[in-house]
Structure 1
Amino acid sequence: MSASTFQYLSKYAWERVMGWIRRKHRKITWKELRRGFCGGEWWPTDGQSYLLDPGQMRVIRYRYRGTKIPTPWTAAN
């Protein structure tokens, strides 16, 4: 669930930033846009800094911890 949410945020951020660049530079082609603003790739970067890609975030789920999980109830003898 969280991985799909991060992918959605990644897509949304990409669409917003690339749309902003396209509106700012109306006469530029997609090829020129990728070379100038994405370093030849598809994700916006300027060589030194880059737009955070939420889709690349690592998702760590809880592993079974057995008796290590504290319980608020006392053990019934």
Structure 2
Amino acid sequence: MPKDALVNASAPVSAVGSWSRVSEMQAKLHRWAAADHGRRFDDLFNLVHVELGYVLTRLNQVMHSWANYFKHAVAKGVFCMLENFAWRRVIRMLQTRHHWNWTDVRRRFTTPSGQWRPITAGEIALRPVSAIPVTRYRYRGNTIPSPWPLDHA
């Protein structure tokens, strides 16, 4: 089957070949997500069976590139909301994947003292976007040229 061919949903599916068909469809959806940059979040969260490391890596890339672009605006509150939104969507994806309820999520992602642990897959963690510093005005000191001539009297 060619890699870019459309999926035929009415084709007969055997139990043995179903996993290969699912992996082919997921690979095709990944290619479509890479080709259409405007739908990255939707495509990442609709693919429940993608490995968590890939999802976290792509989320970190997309969110941090967006935050680095907008870090010169007044966007700290938006960064916090984006981080909260991404965290909740990843948790929801994990709940769907592992059939967890909220008690299972709290048991897995909190410390005994009640603090939340970061979502990780091996060494890959969901990095906080709100940690990017917002630099509105840089201090440039004496590097700003003076419009007036200097008197060396």
TM-score normalized by structure 2? 0.37
2:97 paired residue number? 24
Letter paired with 1:13: A
Select 2:105's aligned residue among 33, 57, 64. 33
Count matched residues: 73
TM-score (norm 1): 0.61
Unaligned runs of 5+ in 1: none
Q: State the distance in 1 between where 2:103 and 2:132 align.
A: 28
Distance 1:18 1:46, change over 3 A: same
Higher relative contact order (CA 8 A, sep 6+): 1
1:62 aligned onto 2:134: no
Whether the 8 Å CA contact 1:39–1:45 is kept in 2: the answer is no
Distance 1:29 1:35, change over 3 A: same
Higher helix share: 2
Extract structure 1 runs of 4+ deviating beyond 6 A. none
Question: Is this contact kept in 2: 1:39–1:46, CA < 8 A?
Answer: no
Please, what is the CA RMSD of the aligned residues? 2.9
Structure ID, larger Rg: 2
- Give identity over the alignment, percent: 31
- Three-state SS of the structure 1 residue aligned to 2:119 is coil
The residue that corresponds to 1:10 in the other structure is: 83
Q: Which amino acid counterpart does residue 137 of structure 2 have in structure 1?
A: Y
